[in-house]
């Protein structure tokens, strides 16, 4: 899902940075002291998840754990994803530094959206099946939203990317299902084993 350096237009890069700066500032403000180590743990998971490849047909893609980031960290997902993507750009050469704002926005805003939509219901629900279902939907939706935002950035830069956008969305449907399943199992387990993580 990383957009490489040199593809997006200046306007989109600036828009991405504006959204990311606002998100990171609010995220830092809303992250309480006791959540710092938790944020670091999930930032590390996100940082390493890109190295775990999932083969889908002739190609492959990697896990992102966008939804668990949002459901566990809330607003804190923005600074966590920003730091993880910054280190991925420097150490792995994924994405780039100029496009970091757009990439952070494309991945952190779905995390925040699923937190705002599903966070409260998942925390308050006592039914295991409903927690699992909601987490699955959150996980799948976050991936589709992330791909859609990345696709929108590409489409607004150049209309020639429209075919690429269709392929991008199609390629992320299997990943959405995998991430949905991973999110469902992780959140259900956390709700049982360490419910304080979701507070």
Residues that bind another protein (CB under 8 A): 1-7, 33, 36-37, 39-40, 43-44, 47-48, 51, 53, 58-61, 83-84, 87-88, 91-94, 150, 154, 163-164, 167-168, 171
Q: Which residue shows structure tokens 């199609």?
A: 170
CB of 187 to another protein, least distance (A): 22
Long-range contacts of 152-155 (CB under 8 A, 24+ apart): 153/3, 153/8, 153/12, 153/16, 153/102, 153/106, 154/3, 154/7, 154/8
CB of 58 to another protein, least distance (A): 8
CB of 145 to another protein, least distance (A): 16
Nearer to another protein, 54 or 116 (CB): 54
Two structure tokens written together for 151? 């696709």
CB of 192 to another protein, least distance (A): 26
Nearer to another protein, 101 or 131 (CB): 101
Distance, C-alpha 66 to centroid of its chain: 3
Alpha-carbon distance of 140 to 138, in angstroms, equals 6
Nearer to another protein, 4 or 130 (CB): 4
Nearer to another protein, 102 or 134 (CB): 102
| Of the candidates 120, 145, 6, the residue with the CA atom closest to the CA atom of residue 67 | 145
Alpha-carbon distance of 43 to 156, in angstroms, equals 29
Work out whether strand 53-56 and strand 59-62 pair parallel, antiparallel, or are unpaired: antiparallel
Nearer to another protein, 120 or 166 (CB): 166
CB of 128 to another protein, least distance (A): 32
CB of 174 to another protein, least distance (A): 13
Nearer to another protein, 70 or 96 (CB): 96
User: How far from each other are the two terminal CA atoms of the chain, in whole angstroms?
Assistant: 29
């Amino acid at each position: 899902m990383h957009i490489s350096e040199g593809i997006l237009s200046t306007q989109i890069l600036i828009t991405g940075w504006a959204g990311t700066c606002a998100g990171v500032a609010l995220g830092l403000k809303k992250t309480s002291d006791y959540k710092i180590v938790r944020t670091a743990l999930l930032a590390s998971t996100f940082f390493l998840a890109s190295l775990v490849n999932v083969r889908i047909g002739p190609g492959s893609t990697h896990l992102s754990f966008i939804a668990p980031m949002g459901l566990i960290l809330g607003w804190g997902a923005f600074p966590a994803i920003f730091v993880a993507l910054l280190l991925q750009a420097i150490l792995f050469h994924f994405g780039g530094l100029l496009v970091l704002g757009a990439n952070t926005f494309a991945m952190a805003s779905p995390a925040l959206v699923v937190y705002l939509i599903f966070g409260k219901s998942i925390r308050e629900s006592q039914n295991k099946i409903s927690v699992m279902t909601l987490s699955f939907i959150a996980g799948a939706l976050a991936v589709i939203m992330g791909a859609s935002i990345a696709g929108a950035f590409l489409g607004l830069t150049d209309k020639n990317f429209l075919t690429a956008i269709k392929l991008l969305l199609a390629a992320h449907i299997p990943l959405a299902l995998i991430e949905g399943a991973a999110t469902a199992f992780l959140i259900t387990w956390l709700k049982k084993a360490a419910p304080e993580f979701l507070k």
